[in-house]
Amino acid sequence: MSATITHEQARATILRVLTGIAPEIEPEAVDGALDLRDQCDIDSMDFLNLVIGVHQALGVDIPERDYPKLVTLDGFASYVAARSASHHHAE
């Protein structure tokens, strides 16, 4: 049984995985409210690798139908935190 992931933990993990995919990105320069793919210049394959990396790091399932909720860093982090909380309560 895994612990609930906070928004801050999710955000840090997303940024860590993102910089692994695109090392030129400066995590502190990423605006949480802007489109992640646009500001980080990542393509759909990089985005898929980001989703997979976050799933592997945190154990949170992210179905493809929910990808539109992952547009911004803050939205992605909120989604991951909420999914971990609902998954945690389901166990």
For the chain, give every domain's residue range: 7-90
The answer to whether the CB of 13 falls within 8 A of the CB of 57 is yes
Q: How far is CA 88 from CA 3, 4, 8, 28, 35, in A?
A: 7, 6, 17, 30, 28
> pLDDT tens digits for 45-81?
999 999 999 999 999 999 999 999 999 999 999 999 9
Contacts of 68 (CB under 8 A, 6+ apart): none
For the whole model, what pTM was predicted?
A: 0.91
| 2 — pLDDT class (breaks 50, 70, 90) | low
Rounded to whole angstroms, the maximal C-alpha distance in the chain is 39
Determine how many CB atoms are found less than 10 A away from the CB of residue 29: 8
Q: Is 55 exposed, middle or buried (0-12, 13-18, 19+ CB in 10 A)?
A: middle
CATH homologous superfamily for the domain 7-90: ACP-like (1.10.1200.10)
